[in-house]
Structure 1
Amino acid sequence: DTVYIGLGSAGTAWYKLDTQAKDKKWTALAAFPGGPRDQATSAFIDGNLYVFGGIGKNSKGLTQVFNDVHKYNPKTNSWVKLMSHAPMGMAGHVTFVHNGKAYVTGGVNQNIFNGYFEDLNEAGKDSATIDKINAHYFDKKAEDYFFNKFLLSFDPSTQQWSYAGESPWYGTAGAAVVNKGDKTWLINGEAKPGLRTDAVFELDFTGNNLKWNKLAPVSSPDGVAGGFAGISNDSLIFAGGAGFKGSRENYQNGKNYAHEGLKKSYSADIHLWHNGKWDKSGELSQGLAYGVSLPWNNSLLIIGGETAGGKAVTDSVLISVKDNKVTVQN
C-alpha cells in the first residue's frame, strides 16, 4: 500500500506515498547515502527496500558504474550500505524478486563503461579528441560490449550473491521487466549503446528448473529501451520506450555506429500480449520512457520519466486492461 521512489533526477532524495491515506501526498524520507545515482534498481523484500548499483560519481568525481547494495529500513527511516558487492557492475540492469531473493540480469559492462568516461575526463574540452573517443566507443559490434547475460541472485538473509544461470542469447541494457508467479519477462532494451532490440525473453522458474524462452518480438523493427511493463487482469502490457528509427537497418548494413545522426524518438504505443503475439491496443498521451513502472490496483502504474528532447515529466499514468481493452488514466 506504500510506494517508494527516489534517485535519478531526484538526486539523493527518496519519497513515499501511502496510497490508502485520505490525504495522499509524497513524504520525504532519509536521503540516500551513496550519492546521486541514475539507473539504480530496487526491490522490496521482507519489509526492507534494497537498492542495487547505478551510475554516479566516485570519490574522484569520475562517472562510474557501481556494484554495491544499500538497504533502507522503513521502520527506522534509515539507510545502511551492506558489505556486499555484486560480481559485476549494475547499470542498465533489471531486478525482480522470486521466492524471497532478488534477481539481477542485463546491464552494461562495468570496465568498458567506466573506461569510456575515464577517456572523456582525460579529453577535457578537446572536441576533436572527444569525437574520436565517441567514434571508438560506438563503432563496435554488439557482442563486443559484453553486456551482462548472467542471472545473479541476491539472498538478503546472507547478503551473498550467487550464479543463477545465463541467457542462451545475449544481454541487454534498459529492458523492461515484469514478473508474475514463476514467470518473468524481459522486454526490449539495448543490444549495444544506441542500438535497441525488439526481442522478448521469458524466464520460467516452474519446478525450480529455470528455462529461458524467446517470445514474439515487439516494437519492431528497431525496438526501444526504457519502456514500461506490467500486468492487468492477466494481460501482459508493454508501453512507451525510446529508440532510434533506422538504427537496426544501419546495423544490418554494416554500420556499427548505428544511431549516428539519428534523432531519438519516444514511443506512445501500448502493446498487449495476446494469443502468442503482440497487438497494439492503445496509446499514451505522449511518447514516454525511463520512468518508474510498478503494479498497483491490478494495473500498471507509471511514475515520471522523460519525453521528446529528454524533457523530464512528473505525471503519473495508470494503464488497466479488461477484456483486452486498454484504459489509460493520466
Structure 2
Amino acid sequence: MNNIHYITCVVLGLTLWSACRPAGTDKKEETEMIQWNHLPDLPGMEGTASLGVSAPFTGIIGNRLIVAGGCNFPDKPVAEGGTKRYYAEIWALDLSADSAQWTNAGVLPRAVAYGASIGTPYGIVCAGGNDSESSFTDVFLLSANDTSEACTIRPLPSLPVAMDNFAATYMDEKIYVAGGNANGTPSHAFYCLDLSERTDSGRWEKLPDFPGAARVQPVLVGQRCGNEEYRLYLAGGFQPGTTETPPRIPDEVLTFSPRTGTWETETALPPLSDGNPRTLTGGCAVAYGDSAILFFGGVNYTRFFEAVDRPRQMAQARAANDTRRLDTLQSEAADYLRHPVDWYRFNDEVLHYDVHSRTWSNRGAYEAVARAGAGALFHNRRLIVVNGEIKPGIRTPRVSVGMF
C-alpha cells in the first residue's frame, strides 16, 4: 500500500431542495421534525470502558437490536498514540421491554469492523470487513436461536474478493454490495447474491461496475421506483488520491436498475447551507416508507478533503523545496486529531429524497446523527443510530432513537 493510500485510510478509519428551489439546507424550511431520545448506552467491549465503537454490524432480530464487532481506542486516544482494537462480541437489546438492558448474545467468528450488515426477513447478513492485519471475504447470517439468547451464525457464500468499507443492501431476496476496498484497492465493483436458499453453496454474481470515481465508505439503499420493481441508490464515498492526483469525493447519486442492468446518474447531493459541497462519506442511508430515502451523517466535505489531500500537498512542497509551505502542512497534520468536536463539522442534517418526484427536503439538523461510521436502521417508524465517531478517533456509546 503506498503512503498516500495508507494515510488516507488512517484518516478515514478515524473518522435538495426540489428542482424549482435553490439547492441548500435552509433550516427555516424544515419539514416534519424528528423527536429524539436514547436507548441504554452500549456496554464496553471485552471488559473495557463504555466508549462506543465505530463500524459495527447492526440490525434487528425479532424484537432485539443487535450490535456486533466494531472497533475503538480503549487504552488512550489515537491523538496520544493509542492503538485501535477490534472486537468480536455480539450484544442484544430487547426493544419490546420497558427497561431493557444490553445482554451478551454470543461471539462473532472473528474480531472485525468496517464490514457491511444488511437486515433481511431471515436475520442479519454480515459481510466482509477487516482487522488490523487483513480484510475478509466472510459472509454469514445472524439469526435467532430457539434454545438460548446467543445468536445462531450460519455461513453464506464468501465474497468474490476481500472487501472492507463498502456498502450493502437487500431487496427482493437479493443482497447487493458495492464499492469499498477490494483486495486493498479502492473499487468500482458491484456484486449480487441470491439469498432465497440461504446456504453456503451459492455464488456471487458480478454486476456492471458503477461509473465515475471509486467509492470507499459509500451508502447503498434500495427503494421502489415508478414502473420498475425497485432501483438501487449509491451515494457518498471517496477515491483516495496519489502524489500526482487529488482525491475525488463525488456528489452524484447513482442508480442501478436490476431490470435493465444499467447505471445512471440520478441527481446530486445538495450543498450545505454555507454553499460548500456535501459528502456522505462515512454516513448512513435508510429506506423510508415506499417512496423515499433518508440520508444523514458522515464527515464534512471540506475538512475531510483537506485531510486526505494533505499528503499530496506535502509531497509537492518537498519537491518544490518550499519549506515554509511544508512546515505549515506538517503543523496542520500534527494538529488534525486534536481539535474539539465542533471543528470537524460532521453532517448533522437528515435529508429526505423522494425517489418518485426526485426532490429533496430537509428533515432538520440533529446532534444525534452527526457521526461517522455509525450503524443505522429504520424500525417501526423509528430511526435508530448506533454509536459511531463524533470526531476522528473518538467514539460515542450512545444509541439514539428518532421518532417520526
Q: Calculate the TM-score normalised by the size of structure 2.
A: 0.60
Over 3 Å counting, the alpha-carbon distance change for 1:12 and 1:246 in structure 2 is closer
Q: Which amino acid aligns with 1:167?
A: F
Preserved CA contact (<8 Å) 1:105 1:152: no
More strand by share: 1
Over 3 Å counting, the alpha-carbon distance change for 1:168 and 1:18 in structure 2 is same
Does residue 150 (structure 1) correspond to residue 190 (structure 2)? The answer is yes
Q: Which amino acid aligns with 1:38?
A: A
- Choose the corresponding residue for 1:298, options 381, 388, 395: 381
Over 3 Å counting, the alpha-carbon distance change for 1:267 and 1:184 in structure 2 is same
How far the C-alpha of 1:226 sits from its partner, in A, is 1.2
Does residue 240 (structure 1) correspond to residue 297 (structure 2)? The answer is yes
Other-structure match for 2:24:
none
Other-structure match for 1:276:
358
How far the C-alpha of 1:277 sits from its partner, in A, is 3.9
Structure number with bigger Rg: 2
Distance 1:214 1:237 in 2: 18
- Choose the corresponding residue for 1:168, options 202, 211, 217: 211
- Choose the corresponding residue for 1:223, options 273, 279, 290: 279
Preserved CA contact (<8 Å) 2:168 2:221: no
Q: Deviations over 1:93-135 (max 9, x none)?
A: 11111222221111113144xxxxxxxxxxxxxxxxxxxxxxx
% of aligned pairs identical? 17
Over 3 Å counting, the alpha-carbon distance change for 1:79 and 1:196 in structure 2 is farther
- Choose the corresponding residue for 1:266, options 340, 346, 365: 346
- Choose the corresponding residue for 2:137, options 45, 59, 67: 67
Aligned length: 278
Over 3 Å counting, the alpha-carbon distance change for 1:7 and 1:258 in structure 2 is farther
5+ long unaligned stretches in structure 2? 1-62, 72-85, 225-229, 242-246, 272-276, 315-328, 337-343
Does residue 18 (structure 1) correspond to residue 94 (structure 2)? The answer is yes
Does residue 257 (structure 1) correspond to residue 319 (structure 2)? The answer is no
Alignment partner of 1:175: what SS? strand
Distance 2:293 2:156 in 1: 37
How far the C-alpha of 1:66 sits from its partner, in A, is 0.9
Over 3 Å counting, the alpha-carbon distance change for 1:318 and 1:52 in structure 2 is same
Other-structure match for 1:103:
176
Distance 2:266 2:386 in 1: 27
Alignment partner of 1:85: what SS? coil
Distance 2:219 2:104 in 1: 27
5+ long unaligned stretches in structure 1? 58-62, 113-144, 322-330
Distance 1:52 1:81 in 2: 12
How far the C-alpha of 1:246 sits from its partner, in A, is 6.2
Alignment partner of 1:216: what SS? strand
Distance 2:190 2:313 in 1: 25
**Within 5 Å, which residues of 2 pair with 1:110-129?**
110-112=183-185
Other-structure match for 1:27:
103
Preserved CA contact (<8 Å) 2:168 2:219: no
Q: Pairwise CA RMSD of aligned residues? A: 3.2
Does residue 199 (structure 1) correspond to residue 242 (structure 2)? The answer is no
Does residue 183 (structure 1) correspond to residue 256 (structure 2)? The answer is no
Q: Which amino acid aligns with 1:204?
A: S
